[in-house]
Structure 1
Amino acid sequence: MFPVAKAVIHLGSTEIIDTFAEAFRLRFARLVVTAHDTSWLEAGVQSFCGYATSVIGCDAEVGVERFISPDESPDGRPGASILAFAFTTDSLAEAVANRTGQCLLTCPTTAV
């Protein structure tokens, strides 16, 4: 049998096919990270975002919102906007503090 056609919604350039989704009430934080060059930036960002695919089973759900050009960043260096999500404000604060201290502040040239 062929699948039943689903409703398609367009939000900007994103196509959303109405199938299934779940949503949770979450708290979030946005961090802007910069570094001397894209190599150091990517190293820090990958470390910060590691083990963060879902709030189910890890401390936070984390991902890169977008990369920021030097002319957009606060210190004129390559940057990234990172989003972090958790179920409570306290757990989000702990996850962001731990990940920042262990992954970003230990990466050469990064600033948060």
Structure 2
Amino acid sequence: MSTTTTPPTTEPAPEAAVRLVQGVEIEDTFAEAFGMTAARLIITAQSPTWAMIAAQAATGYATSVIGCDAEAGLERELSPQETPDGRPGVSLLVFAFSRDALQKAVGNRVAQCV
């Protein structure tokens, strides 16, 4: 018995609307947002390299609160003039769904990674 199958047809996705806002091209695609609690951490070290290594370790897999304890990322590098102890540093932003979840995530990440 022979059967003939027709490959499924796929229609191209509609093109996203693009607009310019203050010189920045914005592509209207998809986004979602959640109410969250945030913390800003400052990590300092002997050198900018060590501060960045600590930042990368602490933010690790924190790309989404769906599947991990927090969303976290590097905000920016800090000069010694911008840190409390006068050493090079970085600032991190960490987000979680609740204050308790944020406290646990920050505590674990700092204790294990910094």
TM-score range, shorter chain: 0.7 to 0.9
**Which of the numbers 6, 30, 40 marks the counterpart of 2:40?**
30
Written as runs of structure 1 = structure 2, the 5 A alignment for 1:13-92 is: 15-92=25-102
Over aligned residues, Cα RMSD in angstroms?
A: 1.9
Are 2:16 and 1:10 aligned?
no
CA deviations 1:49-90 (Å, max 9, x no partner) are: 101111100000100011111122222111111000111111
CA deviations 1:36-55 (Å, max 9, x no partner) are: 10121122111101011111
Q: Are the aligned partners of 2:16 and 2:28 in contact in 1 as well (CA < 8 Å)?
A: no
The TM-score normalised by the length of structure 1 is 0.81
Q: Quote the offset at 1:5 in angstroms.
A: 5.2
Q: Higher RCO, 1 or 2 (CA under 8 Å, sep at least 6)?
A: 1
Q: Quick one: distance in 2 between partners of 1:65 and 1:17?
A: 23
Aligned length in residues: 103
Q: Quick one: distance in 2 between partners of 1:77 and 1:55?
A: 31
Aligned-residue identity in percent: 53
Q: Quick one: distance in 2 between partners of 1:32 and 1:57?
A: 25
- Residue type at the aligned position of 1:78: P
Which one has a bigger Cα radius of gyration? 2
Q: Quick one: distance in 1 between partners of 2:108 and 2:60?
A: 13
Aligned residue in 2 for 1:108: none
Q: Which runs of 5+ in 2 are unaligned?
A: 1-11
The TM-score normalised by the length of structure 2 is 0.80
